Structure 1
Amino acid sequence: MVAYIESLTAIQIILAINYLFVVVALFTVLFKNNNPTKTLSYIIILIVLPFFGLIVYYLFGQEYRKQKIFNRKNVLNQSTIKKYQKALAVDEEELVKLEEELLDGKVKLIKLLNSSEDAPLTRCNEVEIIRNGENTIPRIVEDLEKATSFIHLEYYIIRDDETGNMILDVLCNKAQEGIEVKLIYDYVGSSLSNATMERLSVAGVEFHPFMPVYFPKFTSKLNYRDHRKIAIIDGKIGYVGGVNISNTYFNGRNDMYWRDTHTRIVGQAVGSLQMHFFMTWDFVTEESYEIVNAHFPKCETSNRTALQIAASGPDTDWANIMEAIFTAINIAEDYVYITTPYFIPNDEMITALSAAAKSGVDVKIITPEQSDSWMAKHASASYFERMLESGVRIFYYQPGFVHAKTMVVDDVFTTIGTSNMDYRSFNINFEINALIYDEKISAEALSHFKIDLAESREVVLEEWEKRSFSNKLAESFTRLMAPLL
């Protein structure tokens, strides 16, 4: 009996400590003045689920964007960065001219981000859309081999398999030639053996993991991850898009056909990729690094493609990518065509897409029927019925897994990048997209969309409503986990 009382007292003490932390967390949640539904959800979890509620809150309830875990000023305050930004400053008169030239009333898109210090509008650019990893990776290798000054890479996934070694071998060779080579890789997404890291180190490659965590196999969805895919060569050539560096993304070396989209950029916008790379490098190394003019060379192309680089994550003041996509949908007049591997939209996207479709805009979404995640597939499916009822047309890609993250609007705007149409990309992960204002590029992106559309089957509302009870149950269950997927 005494032992029982003692054990009971111990439990009570532990619960008291739990609820002491809960009280602190509750005040924190309340004073954030967030969405009432979200706030109430966290309050219920914290009160009803001892210990587990605290774990959920501290993993997912923190607003790191406002806590500024990145000290971006270390980079943005450097004179070379300020010089680059000043050279790209666009006044109101130039925006009006740009609108008259090609934007067809959509200059709001540029204004949305142009006020941000790290998303300047660039006009001197040449853009190439590359289809699939087996075309993208050899092209990157080709440019890496020609590097004469420096190479900077930032990737969510880089593995030392056959495909990864195509890149890693070049990095080692270039570093041994005396060229500066820097690599940032996400600790959870990537997989590099100790032997590979030793090889990189001996060759002179500087490499750092992004936010190392313990037990990465069990925490892949529970952390703020660097989901970006950036390659910069000599400050003149840049790559950004959906293709990571591993056999999975290289058709012929994988188990399932992988449909992806990447971009190769030559020109001023590479400087924006460079700026974001430096901000991440500053974070992962915690070392001062002098940025010089050579990192932002003069544009060598005569092409005049207008382009902004939008980055978002806990290091940005605003959800830049989500706001850009939201604005593009809202001002669309003819069509919005989206390709995304994970369609788990937040309330803002649901409202924007539904309103656009109901107002007569042709809204089409291509998403995979074969998914690499059972939970993500069913969570995505839970949104279909409402979308279909509002007039949004949804298509299941058939040949394999579509991993491309693209949107084209009204023949004048295209975005290609790393951001999925889901909670994690909009609110949690570090993402980066190219926002392109150009009729030629939009036409090319549209042609790729039409090719994929021809290889997709449409989800019809009448048939969708007849799906099995087990599927509906799985959808409802996984939707509860949507913000965590």
Structure 2
Amino acid sequence: MSLFYSVVSGFFVFGYWLLIAAVTLRILMKRRAVPSAMAWLLVIYILPLVGIIAYLSFGELHLGKKRAERAKAMWPSTARWLTELKECRRIFASDYSEVARPLFQLCYHRQGIEGVKGNHLQLLTASNATLETLILDIEQAQHNIDMVFYIWQPGGQVDLLAQAFMAAAMRGVKCRLLLDSAGSRQFFRSHYPNIMRTAGIEVVEVLKVNLLRLFFRRIDLRQHRKMVLIDNHIAYTGSMNMVDPRLFKQDAGVGQWVDLMARMEGPVATTLGIVYACDWEIETGKRLLPPSPCVNFMPFEQEHGHTIQVIASGPGFPDELIHQALLTAVYSARQQLTMTTPYFVPSDDLLHAICTAALRGVEVSIILPRDNDSMMVRWASRAFFSELLEAGVKIYQFEGGLLHTKSVLVDGQLSLIGTVNLDMRSLWLNFEVTLAIDDNDFGHDLDKIQRDYLTRSKLLAIKQWAKRPFWHRIVERIFYFFSPLL
């Protein structure tokens, strides 16, 4: 009997170390950043079972077999549609500003299409005004309304929008709604899914959280886009979830969320429609492409309007493109670089680019919320402050609520706005979208908004930061250790 137990225990010990060795080899074979690989290896060797389970659950980008097959199958038809679109030469820009040219060339080589011109953009900074404007557009919709959001929380002004959305569906407008399962859990626990479906809206719960599929798909892979498309002509995107900020997370102690949305008319609605069509097919298996190209594209003069490049990320989209776009934008800066983000946990490459910009004389400002709803991100982001301050980067802490706006402005000319946080999840994992706009007038508008944020912020002095308690530094380093995994 003792021999039997010895053999069994030996078998389990051998299997245990074999599993550790296999996971170690898998980590080493994956071409990931060294800090990320080292963090995973340390976790696995310090807490083997916990580390292995965590890595198999969160360490790799698993979309799931069914979705991965759909993502692969959708590209032939999408590529054909893009080929037809590229024949509409009049909507594509050929000249870019000096600061924007490298970024737009990168996107052309990675995505296959150039930036589109002839768009009209309006920046919306007040959430109530955004919802009111969106309701008016929904009430005038004639053909289709397509939405995707990370969070939809019923209540307040959002309920008025939901009523307008359902009324549109009942009068014959084709209405579709993609909502992330984790972010919109309150919505899916409410009565709204049923009454919306009864009204004729196709409501789809995206990336359902299911512990039974823990090892088959990353449960922390989220649909983080915020987009609305109306009649293939009007589009919205930006940082705002479908929430009423007067009611949203009021118990978090960070104040109301401050967001920025863009309302657009023109060809950019079609390029955003391609992104939505891909998301819809990956999740439902149903093909949904925008109408035939070159139809009603130019509501404005061809030689006027904003030039925009849509940059999308997530499984099935070009790898690391948003990260590459950010790096390109930062290295293109010659005079001024201003960034706003609620969550700041940059990659080593992005941190180095920002510091290098400041060291070569660029006026670099980063505006972050003083208070944050994520304790881990709040401490991890502070671990980068010393290096940034020593390089000459100005760090402003916003005191007017949780600044949720994601924006980058380079030399007053090149703007990036959208859903992308400057953290690992947005840069490497989630479904995200950002707009690159090459336009001096738009840059001026964004600059005014960022300056308004600065008036409600406090500049962090390097001497003040050096006097913080020693235990703060310890906590910062602990969470910095986990920064590649956030």
TM-score under structure 2 normalisation?
Answer: 0.89
- Alpha-carbon offset, residue 37 of structure 1: 3.9
Classify 1:32/1:251 alpha carbon distance in 2 versus 1 (closer, same or farther; 3 Å).
closer
Counterpart amino acid of residue 39 in structure 1: A
Whether the 8 Å CA contact 1:132–1:250 is kept in 2: the answer is no
Q: Which residue of 1 is the match for residue 50 of structure 2?
A: 52
Q: 3-state SS of the aligned residue for 1:356?
A: helix
Q: List aligned pairs for 1:21-40, cutoff 5 A.
A: 21-40=19-38
- Alpha-carbon offset, residue 373 of structure 1: 1.6
* 2:209 equivalent to 1:213: yes
Whether the 8 Å CA contact 1:344–1:423 is kept in 2: the answer is yes
Q: Which residue of 2 is the match for residue 174 of structure 1?
A: 168
Q: List aligned pairs for 1:181-260, cutoff 5 A.
A: 181-190=175-184, 191-192=186-187, 193-214=189-210, 223-248=220-245, 256-260=255-259
Whether the 8 Å CA contact 1:332–1:409 is kept in 2: the answer is yes
Q: 3-state SS of the aligned residue for 1:116?
A: helix
Classify 1:119/1:159 alpha carbon distance in 2 versus 1 (closer, same or farther; 3 Å).
farther
Work out the CA distance in 2 between the residues paired with 1:171 and 1:311: 26
Counterpart amino acid of residue 400 in structure 1: G
Q: Which residue of 1 is the match for residue 261 of structure 2?
A: 262
Q: Which residue of 1 is the match for residue 456 of structure 2?
A: 455
* 2:358 equivalent to 1:357: yes
Classify 1:380/1:297 alpha carbon distance in 2 versus 1 (closer, same or farther; 3 Å).
same
Residue deviations 1:91-139 (CA, integer Å, cap 9, x gap): 9xx64xx23xxx1354111101012336531011011111032221221
Structure 1 unaligned blocks of 5 or more: none
Q: Which residue of 1 is the match for residue 419 of structure 2?
A: 418
Classify 1:14/1:141 alpha carbon distance in 2 versus 1 (closer, same or farther; 3 Å).
farther
Q: Which residue of 2 is the match for residue 311 of structure 1?
A: 312
* 2:107 equivalent to 1:132: no
Q: List aligned pairs for 1:36-435, cutoff 5 A.
A: 36-64=34-62, 69=68, 71=71, 73-74=73-74, 77-78=77-78, 79-88=80-89, 95=94, 98-99=95-96, 103-117=97-111, 120-190=114-184, 191-192=186-187, 193-214=189-210, 223-248=220-245, 256-289=255-288, 291-293=290-292, 297-302=296-301, 303-435=304-436
Work out the CA distance in 2 between the residues paired with 1:249 and 1:339: 22
Q: Which residue of 2 is the match for residue 475 of structure 1?
A: 476
Q: 3-state SS of the aligned residue for 2:147?
A: strand
Whether the 8 Å CA contact 2:311–2:321 is kept in 1: the answer is yes
| Between 192-201 and 296-305, the greater mean CA deviation after superposition | 296-305
Work out the CA distance in 1 between the residues paired with 2:90 and 2:75: 18
Q: 3-state SS of the aligned residue for 1:108?
A: helix
Classify 1:375/1:228 alpha carbon distance in 2 versus 1 (closer, same or farther; 3 Å).
same
| Between 261-270 and 9-18, the greater mean CA deviation after superposition | 9-18
Q: 3-state SS of the aligned residue for 2:87?
A: helix
* Identity fraction in percent: 23
Counterpart amino acid of residue 152 in structure 1: D
Counterpart amino acid of residue 49 in structure 2: F
TM-score under structure 1 normalisation?
Answer: 0.89
Work out the CA distance in 1 between the residues paired with 2:206 and 2:98: 41
Counterpart amino acid of residue 374 in structure 1: M
Work out the CA distance in 1 between the residues paired with 2:91 and 2:293: 23
Counterpart amino acid of residue 229 in structure 1: K
Residue deviations 1:328-376 (CA, integer Å, cap 9, x gap): 1101110000111111111011110010000000000000002112221
Counterpart amino acid of residue 344 in structure 1: V
Whether the 8 Å CA contact 1:80–1:292 is kept in 2: the answer is no
Work out the CA distance in 1 between the residues paired with 2:446 and 2:289: 38
The two structures, once aligned, show a CA RMSD in angstroms of 3.0
Classify 1:171/1:21 alpha carbon distance in 2 versus 1 (closer, same or farther; 3 Å).
farther
Counterpart amino acid of residue 127 in structure 1: L
Q: 3-state SS of the aligned residue for 1:232?
A: strand
Counterpart amino acid of residue 273 in structure 1: L
- Alpha-carbon offset, residue 234 of structure 1: 0.4
Work out the CA distance in 2 between the residues paired with 1:279 and 1:123: 23
Work out the CA distance in 2 between the residues paired with 1:88 and 1:227: 32
Classify 1:130/1:20 alpha carbon distance in 2 versus 1 (closer, same or farther; 3 Å).
same
| Between 114-123 and 82-91, the greater mean CA deviation after superposition | 82-91
Q: 3-state SS of the aligned residue for 1:344?
A: coil
Work out the CA distance in 1 between the residues paired with 2:9 and 2:41: 22
- Alpha-carbon offset, residue 165 of structure 1: 1.8
Classify 1:253/1:64 alpha carbon distance in 2 versus 1 (closer, same or farther; 3 Å).
closer
Whether the 8 Å CA contact 2:273–2:289 is kept in 1: the answer is no
Work out the CA distance in 2 between the residues paired with 1:9 and 1:402: 60
Classify 1:461/1:194 alpha carbon distance in 2 versus 1 (closer, same or farther; 3 Å).
closer
- Alpha-carbon offset, residue 314 of structure 1: 2.3
Counterpart amino acid of residue 29 in structure 1: I
Work out the CA distance in 2 between the residues paired with 1:408 and 1:105: 11
